[in-house]
Copies of this chain bind each other. A is one copy, B any other.
Amino acid sequence: MAQPDTVTRILDTAEVLFAERGFAETSLRTITGKAKVNLAAVNYHFGSKKSLIQAVFARYLDPFTERFHRALDELEARHARDGSEIPLEELLETMARTVLEVPAERDSLKVFMRLLGLAYTQAQGHLRGYIQSQYGEDFSHFTELVRRATPELPDAERFWRLHFILGSVIFTLSGLDALRDIAEHDYDERVSVSELVQKLRPVVVAAMQAPMPDQR
């Protein structure tokens, strides 16, 4: 098999290493060494380490938002025809399906989720700004649809619950390997990612439909 070109080799290696150790902890020398590529290649092709990080994200998020956008439009169109509202389950289902679809091609869901987690938790101010500016609009579209699907929730409450859920998903899927090892060791149950998503589904729905907190 022919070796992929330099740019692809760098991206392939970088995303795995970033996902494993974080951005600051992964040096260009480690990346280029493992990718069997000259050190200067990163700066030549990407300009800087920062841009490499953004490129790694773009390679996931561009196809993701593209598909997600299409899926949401289609969902809206279908329900617009018969005038019904889109139920929450269907929205969550659509998001889950898209998240699973995109990295499936490279068997890298774990990497994708780890990267999302890192984008939130690692400092890297430039990343948050980049993601917000590039993909913020599509996410807003989604939250607007969720708003219509859960009209009984106050806006702020829905906002927080969405982030609770986001935390569950990112946290669980990004720490997947470690957790899976523990689960297998303690309960010998070996779960696949799709089984885990199945486990998440009722929990997420229940979280969104939980009663409002007591006012004390």
Contact = CB atoms under 8 A, between A and B. Distances in A.
A199 B157 contact: yes
Interface in A194-216: 196, 198-203, 205-207, 209-214, 216
A97 to B, nearest CB: 14
A25 interface: yes
A216 B172 CA distance: 22
Given A198-B216, A206-B210, A216-B198, A171 B163 contact: yes
A187 to B, nearest CB: 4
Interface residues of A, number: 53
A159 B186 contact: yes
A183 B159 contact: yes
A36 to B, nearest CB: 23
A48 interface: no
B206 A209 contact: yes
Given A118-B121, A168-B164, A187 B155 contact: yes
A213 B209 contact: no
A203 B172 contact: no
A198 B156 CA distance: 13
A120 interface: yes
Which 6 pairs show the lowest CB-CB distances between chains A and B? Answer: A167-B171, A206-B210, A164-B168, A24-B24, A156-B187, A156-B189
22 contacts: A20-B123, A21-B123, A24-B24, A24-B25, A117-B121, A121-B175, A155-B187, A159-B186, A160-B191, A163-B171, A164-B200, A167-B167, A167-B169, A168-B207, A171-B171, A202-B211, A202-B213, A203-B210, A206-B206, A206-B207, A206-B209, A206-B211
